[in-house]
A = this chain, B = another copy of it.
Amino acid sequence: MIKSTGAMLTGHSCLFTVWAPFRKTVDIEFEDSGLATTPLKKDEFGYWSKEIPGVKAGTKYRFILDGKAAYPDPSSKAQPDGVHSWSAVVDEHDYVWGDSEWEGIALKDLIIYELHIGTFTPEGTFESAISRLDHLLTLGVNAIEIMPIAQFPGGRNWGYDGVYPYAVQDTYGGSEGLKKLVDACHQKNIAVILDVVYNHMGPEGNYLAEYGPYFTGKHSTPWGKALNFDDAYSDHVRAYFLRNALMWLDDYHIDGLRLDAVHAIIDHGAYHFLKELRQSIDELQIKNRKRYFLIAESELNDVKIMEPYEKGGYGLDAQWTDDFHHAVHTLATGEYNGYYQDYGKVEHLAKAFRQGFIYDGIYSPFRKRTVGSNPQAMASSRFVVCIQNHDQVGNRMLGERPVELVSFEMLKLMAGTMLISPYIPMLFMGEEYAERHPFLYFISHGDPDLVEAVRKGRSNEFKAFKWKGQVPDPQAEETYNRSKLKWDFHQDPEQKALFTYYQYMISLRKQGMFSAFFERHVDTEVHEQQKLLIVRSKDASPGIGILLLVLNFSKETQHINMPA
């Protein structure tokens, strides 16, 4: 009943399939006048399809619905003229991979580097990113996490406004560009995690509703009507996203997916989409003899998403653990507005060291309700922690990175806290050398009303934080350009020193120096007044002994009595 959708090249012809259950006719039209407009044929579940000869990679097409308007393909693999225009056929099999030696990295060994293709390099492309991989090798990280690259409106976007889940952003270098980057990473022993958005569609260029019930009025999200994971026809919508996930892993050799805001994937049915997703990937693992990671962003602190199937869980591998970031950030900066009001004590960080989630079934003053579940049965490798990421930096009004907020010594303390922690560390691009340029929120929408709405929405979001100053214009190209990494750190002694510090700490981590913490058999000693935290491993590591960590978040030198 469910069919694969999109354009599939098969020798000398191409099979086009699209799901549009309520449409009376669907025709395919080509930019090339040599190819005739042709009606597709419908099956009983609403899939329209037709095999058409003479189509090759690059052929541009679109669908005409009910003989009226023409729209791009929801499963388009390329939008060379942007989100509103022709889709193009892509040949998935014309790339020759060179990564057959790649063996992958175990979850627990990951040291992740989050990057945004458009601002990671001056050129903002996959290809230019390849030229910086040696920098990452020198730094010591072993995985990159790429912010979403599904086609979005214009050329400037964080990626969460993507509207073609199957199409790789053309301005980044499209499908082939991504493959080259992944291939290059693997040849340098770097894993690739891709950030994918299955909880909403961007506000511009999203024509899914023209095709079928991709959305449901049963649930709402902060971004409008929810994607339809549990209402009538949801089997087809679920399959659309499931196949998308499998495509990245299978066709693009991606090692893992970071699932954006899974709390907004609303599914009240008996078989949760996240579990179905993980189980579909389990099957692919067997086929490909490879392990794929699923890492969730979730605001619920609910271990259910990671618990094994037999415990009723969804079996995901890990989740972002914002609690850790907020505990470090508030201690380091003294900022307590907005959601930071739930943090700020040394005890918070101590609890994060002991068990990951701080909100584990306790009352959150900011959310005004009890939040979370007990994480103690989860291995430390199930929690991804950071001291900055695109959200925590970019959702500040001025996009300041910690270097603008704290002293150089505090920067090192923050970095050390993360890198020694029992959890999977994730750096945000530029963090390793204290990039001083901001990471701002930027868009390049085509619709002026939408641009205005985004400007207003951003301003409103900042109110709780009481930041002062002018909000940078998200639509301005200047805002985008200011957000690019500058890569000039070799000129600056502090920046250079910080890079060396990151290198050193990462190398110690890789040597297993901190692994006595990994099982979280730790004692914590909290000195709230002195802003001092002492963490001590209960077990000694062979050849290393007891691990003792002293974190001084105050500005004063402090003397402590070494525990026996």
Interface-facing stretch out of A187-195, A226-234, A321-329, A429-437 = A226-234
Q: A220-B218, A235-B369, A369-B235 are in contact. Are A269 and B302 (CB under 8 A)?
A: yes
Q: Sort A-B residue pairs by CB-CB distance and give the 5 closest, nearest first.
A: A312-B312, A270-B302, A232-B368, A270-B373, A234-B369
Please, which residues of chain B bring their CB within 8 A of the CB of A234? 369
Give A320-356 as 1s and 0s: 1 = Cβ < 8 Å from B's Cβ atoms.
0000000000000000000000000000000000000
Closest to A263 in B: B268
Closest to A221 in B: B218
Q: Report how far A235 CA is from B312 CA in the complex, Å.
A: 24
Give A279-309 as 1s and 0s: 1 = Cβ < 8 Å from B's Cβ atoms.
0000000000000000000001111100100
Please, which residues of chain B bring their CB within 8 A of the CB of A369? 230-235, 269
In contact, A271 and B361 (Cβ under 8 angstroms) = yes
In contact, A312 and B302 (Cβ under 8 angstroms) = no
Q: Is A311 an interface residue (CB 8 A)?
A: yes
Q: Is A371 an interface residue (CB 8 A)?
A: yes
Most B CB atoms within 10 A — which of A233, A307, A370?
A370
Q: Is A24 an interface residue (CB 8 A)?
A: no
Q: Is A363 an interface residue (CB 8 A)?
A: yes
Given contacts A1-B363, A270-B373, 7 further A-B contacts (CB under 8 A): A220-B220, A232-B367, A233-B368, A263-B268, A269-B300, A269-B369, A304-B312
Q: Is A50 an interface residue (CB 8 A)?
A: no
In contact, B301 and A270 (Cβ under 8 angstroms) = yes
Q: Is A313 an interface residue (CB 8 A)?
A: yes
Partner of A311, one of B269, B271, B310, B367: B310
Q: Report how far A344 CA is from B338 CA in the complex, Å.
A: 57
Please, which residues of chain B bring their CB within 8 A of the CB of A303? 270
Q: Is A496 an interface residue (CB 8 A)?
A: no
Q: Report how far A313 CA is from B313 CA in the complex, Å.
A: 10
Q: Report how far A37 CA is from B430 CA in the complex, Å.
A: 65
In contact, B373 and A271 (Cβ under 8 angstroms) = yes
Give A247-287 as 1s and 0s: 1 = Cβ < 8 Å from B's Cβ atoms.
00000000000000001001011110000000000000000
Closest to A228 in B: B369
Closest to A373 in B: B270
A321 to chain B, nearest CB (A): 14
Q: Is A472 an interface residue (CB 8 A)?
A: no
Q: Is A154 an interface residue (CB 8 A)?
A: no
**Which residues between 371 and 391 of chain A lie within 8 Å of chain B, taking CB atoms?**
371-373
Q: Is A219 an interface residue (CB 8 A)?
A: yes
